[in-house]
Amino acid sequence: MQHDMLYDSLFSKKRRSDCMDFKLKDLGKIKKADIKLDGITVICGDNNTGKSTIGKSLFSFYNALYDYKTKISMQKDSRFKNFILSNINSMDVPVRLLDNDSTMSFITSQAEDFSVEDVKKYLEENYPIKVTKNKVASLVEYLNLPEKDILNEYVFRYFNLVMNGQIKNLNSTGKSSVTAEIKGKSDTILLNKKSCSCELDEPIEHSAYYINNPFVLDWLNLTNVSWFLSALNPMDRNVISAIIKAQADINEDSMSNILETVINKKELDEIRKVLKRAYAGDTVISHGKYYYSENGVDFDFRNISAGLKSFALIERMLETGVLKKKDILILDEPEIHLHSEWQIIYAELIVALQKYFDLTILIVTHSFQFLESLNFFMKKYVISEKGNYYIPKQTEKGVIIEDNDSNLSDMRKSLKSGMFTLADMQLDELSSGDSDEEDDE
């Protein structure tokens, strides 16, 4: 009991002004969830209680809304260029005419106020093209689609894909909702069975990355990787796609991400010190393939252990500049492929990432040792006040997750209960063995 009270006192804290409240209602198995995302948030509980739903919802929320204006403009730009290609009068037009930013600049300058006359004039002045007003009118209809309508459709598709078509809480007939509140402002997504609506006060300025499977690293070395990536769930795809794109940018221009690297050099060096205790070698890229190199021997990424892959994935995200300050990192049972000693190193790596990159980290774990390791290193790195702990509670209407002062103590007791169960079974087995020996006598 004193040990539990000691841990609770270590992690008691005042609420920070930039703390995020992340709320779910009637989503998947979740009836209601209200969790603080402030540094490192840990969720631990029984299987099949919606823990992963929190991570998937957070991932979908951030990545669907992040930089959505650019995504919408790119869709309109693609439609615009396809129209040009379909109606161009000459086969000798240089491809570069369609590769420049002219059409994108035109689209962003007009917002949702395109006229048939202006679009027709732009086309005929910039391309060898003659089109009727009727044809241009069909293009203008697409260009003038309200941004909000496009966003709502995109967000619904994104959530539906990540949640495998099961967004709604089956025990509820009301709307599902996801809300993020920070500094008195909120962004909310209301979800129905076939649509959604977004109510946004603040833009989402950071990416989210979801890691639950270190084997996604293998995709880096596949032939025709782009085709295979298209078949992946967005959660797996976004990490690998980001690494591939960032590395391609570096290969094309060695100055890519150099400003972030210089600014973050001190912080990166501190994180590398922890990383090197497990990932002792180096990453080598040869002929488009990734290798782990140690003591003069190169190992294809596909042939290294699952545990080493866990560290290699973080190493690639850091060294390519994918993982940036204040990003969101979601880790679903990160301890599952790790030896007990590497669990401790990985826990320190997570804490170091939070401290030096100010990441918002959500962790789902079932490991008593991993939880204890996180607690220890949060104290060591003096970020104990940034720890939040949640245990899902099953009710008749669904799972409820909310703040409770005893969450950390209850979590530790829950994780230790398995050890006590095993000890009881061993005692029963010993007692049974003794009885058998007495009967033989």
Check whether 421 has a pLDDT greater than 60. no
Provide the pLDDT confidence category of residue 296 given band limits of 50, 70 and 90: very high
Under the banding of pLDDT at 50, 70 and 90, the label for residue 46 is confident
Is the separation of the CB atoms in 349 and 227 below 8 Å? Answer: no
Residue type, 376: F
Whether 9 shows a pLDDT value over 90: the answer reads no
Q: 57-66, 101-110, 112-121, 325-334: lowest mean pLDDT where?
A: 101-110
State both tokens at 230.
Answer: 């298209």
| Interatomic CA distance for residues 242 and 131, integer angstroms | 39
Rounded CA gap, 21 and 79, in Å?
A: 38
Does one domain contain both 299 and 409?
Answer: no
- Using the 3D structure, point to which of 323, 351, 377 is the last residue of a domain: 323
Looking at the predicted structure, is the pLDDT value of residue 397 above 80?
Answer: yes
Per-residue pLDDT tens for 229-270?
877 888 989 999 999 999 999 988 877 778 788 888 899 999
Q: Is the pLDDT of residue 416 over 60?
A: yes
pLDDT for residue 2 is more than 50: no
What's the rounded mean pLDDT across residues 51-77?
94
Tokens of residue 116, six digits? 């048939």
Reading the block at residue 302, the tokens are: 């596909």
Show which of 274, 289, 323 is a domain's final residue.
Answer: 323
Same domain, 180 and 137: no
N residues, the chain: 441
pTM of structure: 0.87
Beta strands in 226-376 (DSSP E): 282-286, 289-294, 297-300, 328-332, 360-364
Q: Are residues 10 and 88 in the same domain?
A: no
Q: Which residue has the higher pLDDT, 45 or 398?
A: 398
Higher pLDDT, 295 or 102: 295
Q: Which of 22, 69, 31 is nearest to 50 (CA)?
A: 31
Q: Does residue 272 share a domain with residue 196? A: no
The verdict on 354 and 432 lying in the same domain is yes
Give me the domain span that covers residue 178.
1-66+151-207+329-441
Helix, strand or coil, per DSSP, at residue 213: coil
Are 62 and 75 in the same domain? no
Mean pLDDT, range 391-405, rounded to an integer:
86
The CA distances from residue 64 to 20, 56, 113, 218, 238, in Å, are 18, 12, 25, 26, 12
The tally of domains found in the chain comes to 3
Which residues are within 8 A (CB) of 7 and not within 5 positions of it... i.e. 6 or more apart? 375, 408, 409, 412
56 and 79 share one domain: no
Domain boundary among the residues 145, 177, 195 is at: 145
Range in 188-202, 377-391, 394-408 with the lowest mean pLDDT: 394-408
Q: Please say if the pLDDT value at position 412 is more than 60.
A: yes
Neighbours of 128 (CB within 10 A): 13
Task: Over range 330-350, report the average pLDDT.
Answer: 96
Q: 60 and 101: one domain?
A: no
pLDDT in tens, 88-134: 866 555 555 565 677 888 888 877 789 999 999 999 888 888 889 99
Q: Output the CA angle 104-109-113, nearest 5 degrees.
A: 110
Going by C-alpha positions, the residue among 283, 276, 204, 282 that lies closest to residue 243 is: 283
Burial of 33 (0-12, 13-18, 19+ CB in 10 A): buried
Could you give the percent of the chain with pLDDT greater than 90?
61
The verdict on 16 and 75 lying in the same domain is: no
76 burial (CB, 10 Å; 0-12 / 13-18 / 19+) is buried
Report pLDDT for 4: 47
Render pLDDT for 134-171 as a digit per residue (tens, 0 to 9): 999 999 999 999 999 999 999 999 999 999 888 887 77
Residues 107, 16 share a domain: no
